[in-house]
Chains A and B, each alone.
Chain A
Amino acid sequence: MPGSRPERWRPGRIAAFLALGGLLYLGLLLWSEHLVRRTGDRNPFFRIEQAARTQDWLILGASHAMPLDFAEMESLIEAGAGKRLLNLSATGTGPFVWRLVAQRFFRDHEAAAVLIIIDAFAFRDRRWNEDRIGDSDLMPRIPWDRATLSVLASSLGEGLPPATFANFLTGFSKINNPDRMRPDIWEAEQEFERSPRPSDAADRARIAYLYPGPADPAAEEAAFGHLDALVQLARANGAEVILIRPPLPDRFRKLMPGEEAFSGRLQRLAVEDGLALQDMSALLPEPGFYFDPDHLNRSGVEAWLDRGLAQILTGP
C-alpha cells in the first residue's frame, strides 16, 4: 500500500529521476534532429542549411511560388538564366514568415536579388503569418541551430508567439511529430503534370480556405510592415528586391475578395520603397495552365517563364 511506504522525501532520488528524465529527453531530441535532417526537403530553414553560401536569386512566397522548383524546373530555370536559385517558399505563408526566413538566410548567406511572390490572402490574417510558423508542418521540420534560435528570439517583439519560440527552443514538436518518418514534401507536386477540368466547387472551396472571412485590418497592417522590413533587410544585405504577383486563372481571380484595395496598397508600398512590382496575375488566364484551382502546372510554369519571368531572372 502507498501508505506503508516511509513518508520521507528523498531529494537525491528525485534529482536522479529528473536527471535521467532529462537525458531521455535529450536522447529523443537528438534522434528527432537526426530525422529532421534525414527527411528534410521543403522546409525553408532546412533548405538554407543545405544551400550554398552565395545565391543569385532568393525566392520567397507562399505555395504559388513552389511550382518554380517542382520536378526539374529549378535546374531548367538555372540553366536558362545562368543563375543560381534558392526557392524558400512554403505553403500558406505570409510576410511574417518570409521575413523570418530571410533573416535566417542573411545570417550566413548572400543573395544578389530577392524575388518575392506576393499573394493577397497572405496579408489578411495572422494564421498565415505570426501563427503559421508554429504549425505542425513547419515547426517540427526546422533544424535546430543557433542562428535560427537567435532570429526567432529577436522576433518575439515582432509578434512571434512565445509558445512558438519555446517550442523551437525545447524541440518538443520535433519529438512529438507524428510525421517524423515521412519525407517533408508537398503532395501537390505529384499533380504538377496534370491539367484537370476546372470546377466551380473546387474554386469556391479554395477561396473559402484562403479567405475565410473579412480581412483583419491589424493583421494586414502588420503584414505590410513585415514586407517593408523584409525589403529593408534584403537591401541592407546588398540584394535587389522585386515583387511579383503570380499568374492566376481568371475564374479564380474573379472570386478573390478585396483585390482592388490590396493592389492599391501594394502599389503605394512599391512606389514609396522604389521597388519593382510586376503584376503578372492576369498573364495566364486559362485554367489549362493550372493543376488545381490556382497552382501552375508544368505548361503554366513554362508559359510564365516565356512570358516574362525568365527575362526577370536573367538579371540583375
Chain B
Amino acid sequence: MSYTAPQFWLLLFATLAAVLLAPQRARLWVLIAASLAFYGLPDATWLLWLAGVFAVVFAGASAGPTAARLGAGALVIALVGVKFGDGAGLPLPAEPPGFSFLAFTAIAYLIDVARDPARRVLPPALLLHLAWFPKLLAGPIERSAALVPQFSGLAMRPGLAALGFSLILSGLVKKLVIADTLAPLVDAAYAIPDYAAPFELLLASYFFAFQIYCDFSGYSDLALGLSALVGLRLSQNFDRPYLAVSVTEFWSDRWHITLGRWFRDYVYIPLGGGRHGPARRILNLMTVFALSGLWHAGLGYGVGWGFLVWGLLNGAVVSVEALLPPARPGLLRPLGALLTFHLILVTWVFFRAATVEDALTILRRIAGGLAELPAVLAAYPFTAAQITGAGLVVALLAAEIALRGRPFAERLADAPVALRWAAWYGALALLLLFGRWQGEGFIYARF
C-alpha cells in the first residue's frame, strides 16, 4: 500500500483511533491487525509470505539453537531464491514488497535466539516485530531486543506524537518534494547516456545522490514518525550521510545504519572481523560489500551487475581506508567530506545506470567534459526544473550543516509552540504546493 494513497491515511487514522480507544492489552493486536491490513490489502497472497516467514521463525526459535540457525539458513535460501530464481529460470513466485527487510529482521531474531535463547519472545510480539507496517517495506531493520520491550507501553503520547508528526512531515517533504522533483531530471539524462550532454550527466549524477538519499531517508523518517505516534521508537537509519569524512564513516555510522549493523553483527564479526590481521580484515570487508551488492543485484528478473560493481567499489574504498592511518579531520574536515561525497557519487553511477556499460559511458563522458566545465557552466541554459532541483539540494545541505547534533525533528518537537507550528505549516504548504503525490514508489521498497 502506497504511503501517498488515501487508503493508507484512512488505515492510519483508524489505527490511531483504535490505539486511543483500546485498552493497553489490546493495543498490540490493533497494531498487528493494522500491519496485516497494510500488507494484505493490495495483494492477499503477500500475507502467505508473511505467514511463511513467521512460521519458520517461530518454529526455529522454539526448537533450540540448531533449529534457529537452520531457520535462518532457510530464510537466506528463500531470499536468494526470490532474488535470483527467476533469472536462473526457476519457476519461483515473484518477491513480495519488502521481503528482504522482513527476512533480515527474521534472520537477526533467529541468530539472536540461537546465541541466547532467553531472547525468545511471545508469538504476538514476534508477529508485530516482524510485520510492524511502517518499517515493513524498507526498514529500519530492528532488533527484537530494542523493539519488543516497547510493546508493553503502546500509547499515543503528546511528546512522542509531536516528534512523530515532525518526522512524518520531514519524510514526506524529503520524498515528495525533493526526491520526486529530482527523479525525472535523473531519468531523462540516464535514459540514453550517449544522447545526454556531459554536463547534463554530471548534474543528473549529483541529483541522483540526493534523490536516493531523500527517497530512502524520507521513508525512514516516515517509519520512525508513524511508530512514534503509537509510542514506539525505531532506530535512526540515517545521520546526515554526505557530511561523512570517510567512506567507512559513511557506511558504518551515517547511511542505512541498521543494515550496516546487521552486516557487522551477522556477517563481518562471525567471519572474524578485523581480528585476524589486515588481509583477513580486507577479505571480510570485501565479502560484506559484495554481499550487499548482490542483495541489491537480485532483481527477481535477472541480475543487476551494476549493483555488484557498486558494492565492490565501496568495499575497495573502505578496504583502502582500513589500511591507512586514522585521519585527523580538524581543518581538513570539509575537504574530507567533499572527497568522500565524490567517491560515493562515482559509485552511485553504477547503482543508478541501467547497465555497467551505461555507467562507464556516463563516467567517461563526464570525465571527457570536465575540461570544458567552466565554459559550459557559464553558458548553460539551465531549465526551471534544474534550478529548482539545485535549490532544493542546497537548502537540504544548508539545513543539515546548520543543524548539527540532535536530529532536526527531535529539536523541533521540543521547540516553542510558535516555532514548531510555523515549521509544520511550512512543511504542509510545501507538500501541498510542490509535493508530487502521483510520483513513483520508494526506491528501496523494490529491494
Give B contacts to A, CB under 8 Å: 6, 157-160, 162-163, 410, 413-414, 417, 421, 424-425, 428-429, 432-438
Q: A-B pairs with CB below 8 Å: how many? A: 53
User: Which of A8, A21, A136, A178 makes the CB contact (< 8 A) with B425?
Assistant: A21
CB distance from A175 to the nearest CB of B (A): 5
Question: What 1/0 mask marks residues of chain A from 154 to 175 whose CB sits below 8 Å from any chain B CB?
Answer: 0000000001001000001001
Which one of A1, A4, A24, A176 contacts B435 once the chains associate, using CB atoms below 8 Å? A176
Q: Does A3 contact B (CB under 8 A)?
A: yes
Q: State whether A175 and B438 are in contact (beta carbons under 8 Å apart), knowing that A2-B163, A5-B159, A21-B425 are contacts in the complex.
A: no
Does A252 reach chain B (CB closer than 8 Å)? no
Are B421's CB and A24's CB within 8 A?
Answer: no
- A10 and B162 alpha carbons, distance in the complex (Å): 12
What residues of A have a CB within 8 angstroms of the CB of B158 in the complex?
A: 5-10
Which residues in A have their C-beta under 8 angstroms from that of B434? 176, 178
- Which residues of chain B come closer than 8 Å to A3, judged between CB atoms? 159-160
For the complex, give the distance between the alpha carbons of A138 and B180 in Å: 22
Q: Which residues of B contact A8 (CB under 8 A)?
A: 158
- In contact, B437 and A176 (Cβ under 8 angstroms): yes
CB distance from B8 to the nearest CB of A (A): 13
B417 A13 Cβ-Cβ under 8 A: yes
Inter-chain contacts of B424 with A (CB < 8 A) = 17
Closest to A162 in B: B6
- A215 smallest CB distance to B (angstroms): 26
0 or 1 for each of A59-70: is its CB under 8 Å from B? (1 = yes): 000000000000
Please give, as numbers and ranges, the residues of chain B lying within 8 Å of A166 by CB-CB distance. Answer: 6
Identify the closest chain B residue to A163 (Cβ). Answer: B6
Contact partner of B414 (CB less than 8 A), chosen from A2, A9, A28, is A2
Could you show 30 A-B contacts with beta carbons less than 8 Å apart?
A1-B159, A2-B160, A2-B410, A2-B413, A3-B159, A3-B160, A4-B414, A5-B159, A5-B162, A5-B414, A6-B158, A7-B158, A8-B158, A9-B158, A13-B417, A17-B421, A20-B421, A20-B425, A21-B428, A24-B425, A24-B428, A24-B429, A28-B432, A136-B438, A163-B6, A166-B6, A175-B432, A175-B433, A176-B434, A176-B437
Chain A residue nearest in CB terms to B166: A2
Contact B433 A176, beta carbon cutoff 8 Å? yes
- Expressed in whole angstroms, the minimum distance between the Cβ of A236 and any Cβ of chain B is 36
Q: Which residue of A lies closest to B424 (CB)?
A: A17
Q: Which positions in A face B, CB cutoff 8 Å?
A: 1-10, 13, 17, 20-21, 24-25, 28, 136, 163, 166, 172, 175-176, 178
- Nearest 5 CB-CB pairs, A to B? A5-B159, A2-B159, A2-B163, A2-B413, A175-B432
Q: Which residue of A lies closest to B233 (CB)?
A: A2
- Name the CB-closest residue of B to A175: B432
Q: In the complex, which residues of chain A have a beta carbon less than 8 angstroms from the beta carbon of B435?
A: 176
A144 to chain B, nearest CB (A): 16
Q: Which residues on B sit within 8 Å (CB–CB) of A28?
A: 429, 432-433
CB-nearest residue of chain A relative to B160? A2
CA A166 – CA B10 in complex, angstroms?
14
Contact residues in A for B414 (Cβ distance below 8 Å): 1-2, 4-5
Q: How far is the CA of A2 from the CA of B163 in the complex (A)?
A: 7
- A5, A6, A7, A175, most chain B CB atoms within 10 A: A5
Least CB distance, A182 to chain B, in whole angstroms: 10
Instruction: A4 to B159: give the CA distance in the assembly, Å.
Output: 8
Q: Which residues of B contact A20 (CB under 8 A)?
A: 421, 425
Q: How far is the CA of A231 from the CA of B193 in the complex (A)?
A: 52
Evaluate contact between B433 and A7: CB separation under 8 angstroms.
no
The residue from A2, A21, A163 contacting B162, defined by CB atoms under 8 A apart: A2
Give Cα distance in the complex from A141 to B157, angstroms: 42
Q: A1-B159, A1-B410, A7-B158 are in contact. List 5 more A-B contacts (CB 8 A).
A: A2-B410, A5-B159, A7-B159, A20-B421, A163-B6
Give the residues in chain B near A9, CB-CB below 8 Å.
Answer: 158
In the complex, what distance in Å separates the CA atom of A206 from the CA atom of B434?
A: 31
Query: What is the bound-complex CA distance between A198 and B5, given in angstroms?
Result: 43
How far apart are A91's CB and chain B's nearest CB, in angstroms? Answer: 19
Query: Once the chains are docked, how many angstroms separate the CA of A166 from the CA of B417?
Result: 32
Assembled-state Cα–Cα distance A9/B437 (Å): 31
- Complex Cα gap A5–B160 (Å): 9
Closest Cβ neighbor of A6 among chain B residues: B158
Cα(A3)–Cα(B157), bound, Å: 9
* Residue contact A7 to B157, C-beta cutoff 8 Å: yes
Which B residues are CB-close (under 8 A) to A176? 432-435, 437
From residue A70, how far is it (CB to closest CB) to chain B in Å?
Answer: 26
CB distance from B363 to the nearest CB of A (A): 32
Q: Which residues of A lie under 8 Å from residue B159 when comparing CB positions?
A: 1-5, 7
Chain A contacts of B6 at CB under 8 A?
A: 163, 166
Nearest residue, chain B, Cβ from A29:
B432
A8 (CB) vs chain B CBs: closest residue: B158
Q: Which residues does chain A contribute within 8 Å of B436, judged by CB atoms?
A: 178
Report the Cα distance A163→B162, complex, angstroms.
30
Query: In the complex the two chains form, what is the Cα distance from A178 to B6 in whole Å?
Result: 20
Q: What is the CB-to-nearest-CB distance from B1 to chain A, in angstroms, rounded to a whole number?
A: 15
* A-chain residues with CB within 8 Å of residue B413 when the two chains form the complex: 2, 5
Bound-state Cα–Cα, A28 to B157, Å: 31
B268 smallest CB distance to A (angstroms): 33
Residues of chain B with a CB closer than 8 A to A25's CB: 432
Instruction: Name the residue of chain A whose CB is nearest to the CB of B157.
Output: A7
A229 to B429 alpha-carbon distance, docked (Å) = 42
B432: A residues at CB distance < 8 A: 25, 28, 172, 175-176
Contacting residues, chain B, for A6 (C-beta < 8 A): 158
Distance in angstroms from B199 CB to nearest chain A CB is 24
Chain A residues with CB under 8 Å of B163's CB are 2
Complex CA–CA separation, A73 to B159 (angstroms) = 64
Q: Tell me, rounded to whole Å, the shortest Cβ–Cβ distance linking A181 to chain B.
A: 10
Give the shortest distance, in Å, between A34 (CB) and chain B (any CB). 14
Residue of A nearest to B388 (CB): A178
CA distance A178 to B160 in the complex (A): 34
| Chain B residue at minimum C-beta to C-beta distance from A17 | B421
